């Protein structure tokens, strides 16, 4: 539960930074990171109810897409 909460906080933080950033590249990339955090939080939450471990952030291989 704590991990899910932390991931959701990171997602919100990434969205807020994207919205407030004056750097175009950062404001374009941070929403994707926020989506990854939110997806990981959802997977963690589902894993808690199913009893299965969630995949690492960035997918099974741990690599985020470029």
| H or E stretch covering 43 | helix 24-50
More confident of the two residues 65 and 49: 49
Residue 31 lies in a domain: yes
Please tell me the chain's helix, strand, coil percentages from 3-state DSSP, rounded to the nearest 5: 70, 0, 30
pLDDT digits (tens, 9 = 90+) for 8-51: 999 999 999 999 999 999 999 999 999 999 999 999 998 887 76
The pLDDT value recorded for residue 34 is 97
pLDDT at 60 (0 to 100): 46
Q: What is the value of pTM for the model shown?
A: 0.71
User: Angle at the Cα of 19 (from 16 to 14), degrees rounded to 5?
Assistant: 35
Q: What is the CA radius of gyration of the chain?
A: 13
The pLDDT of residue 64 is 54
**In which domain, by residue range, is 45 found?**
2-50
Is it the case that residue 54 has pLDDT exceeding 80? Answer: no
| Number of structural domains in the chain | 1
For residue 62, the tally of other CB atoms under 10 A from its CB is: 9
Residue 58 in any domain: the answer is: no
């Amino acid at each position: 539960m704590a991990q899910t909460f932390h991931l959701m906080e990171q997602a919100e933080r990434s969205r807020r930074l994207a919205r407030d950033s004056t750097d175009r590249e950062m404001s374009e990339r941070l929403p994707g990171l926020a989506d990854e955090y939110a997806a990981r939080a959802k997977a963690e939450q589902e894993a808690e109810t199913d009893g299965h471990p969630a995949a690492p952030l960035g997918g099974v291989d741990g690599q985020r897409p470029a």
